[in-house]
């Protein structure tokens, strides 16, 4: 492997099955992930929080990613206390048809960041954010969210908090290829670590977490040291251009939210896999066990 691109060995067979009509694509589930940034006082460049998925995970085991996960059906609850841009504004920015769907995506981003990293983008007023989410009572609520015993709306109401959607900025949208059995329509957001809060590995799906400069993470991917999916390395390369979390947040407004979906085509006996607009991920799969290039 020349770099750390995640490439399951079963993809060629699944791509051929899709092309022949033997495979029916799964419907992608909406999901959200957050690229959490902090100032890198020692490195002179911002750092991003990443987690490594456990090798035992069925999807992208061993790969580095950001905190995130699927939308909970209750994330569109009309009782969610809300601050920041309106739901209609978010629907337009995310490119979805309905305000409830937009709310669910934003809620998933905030909820999953709290569930997996212990960081909460919410506050008692529209102008404030909680400064500490540690303690047994907070952990009990977090575990209830993970178990889906508590909805995010109920959690916010119990705590007297409102979701700070203005602390998030939409960055990208990637859809899992049609030949994958588990498919996600994932919205990538960027946010700055709130003052007073700290990240921790609160996810049962990760075996380690790191704070790392985007450029350093990309360099280690290029060397084959860190395994990543195309959306992760693509967003890391984009983040590396910014000198501060504030700079990345400001630049997010210019980011294209058109969904990126992998395409596969046959060239003779070989398969060519591409991600439109991202040539570095192109793979040519020739017949035989050593056919990936």
Cα–Cα nearest to 46, from 33, 35, 57, 55? 35
Spatial neighbors of 200 by CB under 8 A, at least 6 apart, are: 117, 118, 209
Q: Is 19 exposed, middle or buried (0-12, 13-18, 19+ CB in 10 A)?
A: middle
More confident residue, 45 or 138: 138
Quick one: average pLDDT of 112-139? 94
Backbone angles phi, psi at 77, to 5 degrees: -55, 130
In the chain the domains, ranked by start, together with CATH numbers, are 30-256 (3.90.79.10)
HSE at residue 158, side-chain half, CA atoms within 13 A, is: 13
Length of the chain: 293
Q: What is the mean pLDDT of residues 199-228?
A: 89
* Gyration radius of the chain's alpha carbons: 19
Q: For residue range 19-64, what is the model confidence (pLDDT) as tens digits?
A: 888 888 889 999 999 999 999 766 668 999 999 987 666 666 788 9
Burial class (CB in 10 A: 0-12, 13-18, 19+), 18: middle
Compute CA distances 109 → 21, 129, 220, whole Å. Answer: 35, 16, 27
**0.85 exceeded by pTM:** yes
pLDDT tier at 17, thresholds 50, 70, 90:
confident
The Cα-based distances of 268 to 7, 22, 99, 122 in angstroms read 22, 20, 46, 54
């Amino acid at each position: 492997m020349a770099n750390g691109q995640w490439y399951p060995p079963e993809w060629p067979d699944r791509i051929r099955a899709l092309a022949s009509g033997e495979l029916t694509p799964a419907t992608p589930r909406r999901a959200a992930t957050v690229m959490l940034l902090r100032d890198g006082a020692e490195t002179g460049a911002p750092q991003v929080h990443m987690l490594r998925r456990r090798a035992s995970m069925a999807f992208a085991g061993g790969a580095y990613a950001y905190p995130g996960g699927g939308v909970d059906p209750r994330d569109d609850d009309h009782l969610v206390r809300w601050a920041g841009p309106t739901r209609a504004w978010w629907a337009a920015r995310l490119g979805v048809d309905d305000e409830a769907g937009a709310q669910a995506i934003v809620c998933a981003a905030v909820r999953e960041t709290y569930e997996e990293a212990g960081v909460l983008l919410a506050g008692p007023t529209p102008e404030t954010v909680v400064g500490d989410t540690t303690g047994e009572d907070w952990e009990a609520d977090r575990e209830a969210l993970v178990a889906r015993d508590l909805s995010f709306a109920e959690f916010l109401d119990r705590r007297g908090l409102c979701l700070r959607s203005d602390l998030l900025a939409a960055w990208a949208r990637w859809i899992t290829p049609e030949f994958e059995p588990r498919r996600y329509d994932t919205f990538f957001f960027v946010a700055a670590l709130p003052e007073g809060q700290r990240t921790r590995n609160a996810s049962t799906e990760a075996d380690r977490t790191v704070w790392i400069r985007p450029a350093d993470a990309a360099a280690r991917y290029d060397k084959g040291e860190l395994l990543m999916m195309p959306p992760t390395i693509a967003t890391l390369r984009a983040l590396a251009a910014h000198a501060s979390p504030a700079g990345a947040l400001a630049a997010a407004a210019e980011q294209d939210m058109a969904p990126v979906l992998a395409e596969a085509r046959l060239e003779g006996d070989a398969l060519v896999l591409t991600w439109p607009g991202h040539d570095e991920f192109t793979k040519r799969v020739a017949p035989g066990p050593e056919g990936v290039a």
